[in-house]
């Protein structure tokens, strides 16, 4: 009798399915950063005010936009995926505690979301982008 683990291993060993999983996994996790970076870009003044209200200098906003938007696109394409995923994971942890450290239920859910995303990104640090990607690892 074939185990579930063996069945999954056999499925992901198929090059076409493995490639599809690589692309979908990068797309799903990168979309949150692309969307967040874009919304900060078009709502620049409001985002800057919010950051300053949270005691974060608004001068950091261009770096945040570059990391979210640029990092999201790079991860989607599989460009320097390990590095970008590591940076985004660190960003998720730091901003999670900075902006969602309050004890109310909504902030705790948002904090846990950030930590879960960081965990998913660390899998890319470990494995790389997979194929197809612009990385050659």
What pLDDT is stored for residue 137 in this prediction? 62
The model's pLDDT over 53-91, given as tens digits with 9 standing for 90+, comes to: 999 999 999 999 999 999 999 999 999 999 999 999 999
Would you say residue 133 lies in a domain?
A: no
Question: How far is it, in rounded angstroms, from Cα 101 to Cα 21?
Answer: 33
- Tell me which residue range forms the domain holding 32: 17-127
Would you say residue 135 lies in a domain?
A: no
pLDDT band at 1, cuts 50/70/90?
low
Residue with tokens 């960003």: 91
Question: How far is it, in rounded angstroms, from Cα 127 to Cα 125?
Answer: 6
Query: Domain total for the chain?
Result: 1
């Amino acid at each position: 009798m074939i185990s579930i683990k063996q069945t999954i291993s056999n499925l992901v060993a198929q090059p076409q399915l493995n490639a599809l999983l690589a692309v979908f996994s990068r797309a799903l996790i990168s979309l949150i950063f692309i969307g967040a970076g874009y919304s900060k870009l078009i709502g620049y003044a409001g985002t800057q005010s919010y950051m300053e209200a949270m005691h974060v200098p608004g001068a950091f906003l261009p770096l945040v936009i570059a990391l979210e938007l640029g990092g999201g696109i790079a991860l989607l394409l599989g460009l320097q995926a390990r590095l970008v995923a590591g940076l985004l994971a660190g960003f998720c942890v730091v901003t999670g505690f900075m902006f969602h450290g309050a004890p109310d239920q909504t902030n705790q859910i948002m904090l846990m979301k950030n930590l879960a995303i960081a965990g998913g990104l660390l899998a890319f640090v470990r494995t790389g982008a997979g194929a197809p990607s612009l990385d050659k690892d």
